[in-house]
Amino acid sequence: MRLTARMPAAIKICFVILAVIMFCAVFAAQLAPYGPDDTRLLERNTPPTIFSGGAAHIFGTDALGRDILSRLLYGTRISLSMAAAGLIAGGTCGVLLGLTSGYFGGIWDKTVLALVNFQQSIPYILIVLLLVIVFGRSIPVLMVLVGMARWETYARLLRNVSLSVREKQHVAAAVTYNASSFRIILRHILPEVRSQLVVLLMLNFPAVLLLESSLSFVGIGVQPPTATLGRMVGEGRIALMTCPWVAAVPTVAIVALSYCVQRIGEWARDELDVRMNMDGAR
C-alpha cells in the first residue's frame, strides 16, 4: 500500500493501460467481433467509426476486408507471447552464463566474455537472417531468436555480481562447509541480484517487442495470414496515403506497450535504488 501511495499518477496510468492491453490479449477470442482472418471484400478499406465508417468495424478494415480490431486483439496476443517467451529464453541463458562465468572464472569466463563481445560486435539482425535460413520461420524458432537478442545484458550483469559476491564471507563459509557450487550460486549469489534482474527484464521487454515487430514488418517474422502487430504495420504501409488506419492502429498499440513497460521499469529501478552495473569486463 505504501508503494502504491508513492507511485506517480503517470505510472498508475501506465499500469492501467498495460493491464487493459494484457486483458484484451488474453481474452482475444471472446472479445474479437470477427475472426482475425475473415475476409469481406465488399467491406474492404472501411474507415473507422470515428471517420463515419459505421459501427460494424470500430477500427475499420484492411484491403482484404479483415476487421482491424479483431486482428489487433489476436496480433497483440501473439506478439506479447513471442516477446515474453523470448525474454524468458534470453534471460535464462544470460543468467546461467553470467552466474557460472563469474563464479568459476578461468577458461569458462573468457569463453563467455568472448561470446558477449561477439554478440555486441555484430548486428543481431544478420544473425537472425542466417538462423532463419537454417531453422525456418516457425513461431518456436522465432521466439528463441527474439529472446536471444538481449541475453548478453543479463550475462554481463550477473557476471559482475558473481565476481563481487563470491568474495564475501558467507560464500566463503559455504565453501568451507563443502556446499556444492550449484547450491552456492542459487542460495547465495542469485538472491543478490533479484531486484536488478526484474528491472532489467522490464527494461529489455520493449526492445524485444520492437525486434519481433521489426522482423514481422520486413517479412521474416511470423508468416501470413497469422496476425502480429509488426505484420499489421507492414501490411498497412503500402496504403498509408489512402487507408492510414490500417498501419496506425497497430503502431499505436506497439508504442503504448513499449512506453508503458519502459516507464514502469524506470520507475521500479529508481524506487528499488537498483544500480545496473554492466561495465566492461575485468
Alpha carbon dihedral 41, 42, 44, 48, in 10-degree steps, equals -140
Evaluate if residue 3 carries a pLDDT over 70: no
Helical residues (DSSP H) of the chain, grouped into ranges? 2-6, 9-26, 28-31, 68-104, 106-121, 124-135, 139-147, 151-165, 169-176, 181-184, 194-217, 229-236, 245-271
Taken in order of first residue, the domains within the chain and their CATH numbers are 2-243+252-271 (1.10.3720.10)
- pLDDT of residue 19 exceeding 90, the answer is yes
Whether pLDDT at 275 is above 60: no
Instruction: Please state the separation of Cα 64 from the chain's center in Å.
Output: 30
Q: How many CB atoms lie within 10 A of CB 6?
A: 10
59-107: per-residue pLDDT in tens? 988 888 899 999 999 999 988 888 888 888 888 888 888 888 888 888 9
CB-count exposure of residue 49 (10 Å: 0-12, 13-18, 19+): middle
pLDDT more than 70, % of the chain: 94
pLDDT (0 to 100) of residue 5:
65
| Mean pLDDT for all residues in the chain | 83
Of 148 and 230, which is predicted with more confidence? Answer: 230
At 280 the pLDDT is 41
Omega prior to 225 cis, within 30 of 0: yes
pLDDT value at residue 1: 52
pLDDT digits (tens, 9 = 90+) for 34-65: 988 888 888 888 888 888 767 888 898 888 88
Give the residues across from 61 on adjacent strands.
67
Q: Write out pLDDT tens, residues 143-162.
A: 788 877 788 888 888 888 88
Closest CA to 245 of 36, 48, 33, 75: 48
Q: Is 61 helix (H, G, I), strand (E, B) or coil?
A: strand
pLDDT tens, position by position, 190-214: 777 777 888 888 888 888 888 888 8
Q: Of residues 200 and 179, which shows the higher confidence score? A: 200
Cell triple for residue 174?
559455504
Q: What is the mean pLDDT of residues 119-144?
A: 81
**pLDDT average, residue stretch 178-186:** 76
pLDDT at position 73 is: 93
Cα–Cα distance for residue pair 173/167, rounded to 1 Å: 10
- Residue pair 112/151 in contact (Cβ under 8 Å)? The answer is no
pLDDT at 53: 64
> CA-CA distance, 214 to 132, in Å (whole number)?
14
Evaluate if pTM is beyond 0.95: no
CB 197 within 8 A of CB 154: yes
Average pLDDT in the 213-238 region?
82
Read off the amino acid at residue 130. Answer: L
**Burial level of 211, CB count in 10 A (0-12/13-18/19+)?**
buried
* Cell numbers that stand for 112 in this block: 563467455
Contact 79/229 with Cβ under 8 angstroms?
A: yes
Which residue type does 171 have? V
